[in-house]
Amino acid sequence: MAAKREFRSFEEYLIERLQDPDEAAIYLEVVLDEYAEDRDLAGLFYSLHLLAKAQGDIVDILEKAGIDKQFLDDILSKKADLEHASIGTILKNLG
- Stronger pLDDT, 16 or 79, i.e. the higher one: 16
- Stronger pLDDT, 9 or 72, i.e. the higher one: 9
pLDDT at 84: 44
Query: Is 80 exceeded by the pLDDT of residue 26?
Result: yes
Query: Is 80 exceeded by the pLDDT of residue 66?
Result: no
- Stronger pLDDT, 22 or 74, i.e. the higher one: 22
User: pTM higher than 0.85 for the full model?
Assistant: no
DSSP 50: H
Whole-Å CA distances, 39 to 23, 29, 72, 73: 23, 15, 17, 19
First to last CA, the chain: 47
- Stronger pLDDT, 74 or 15, i.e. the higher one: 15
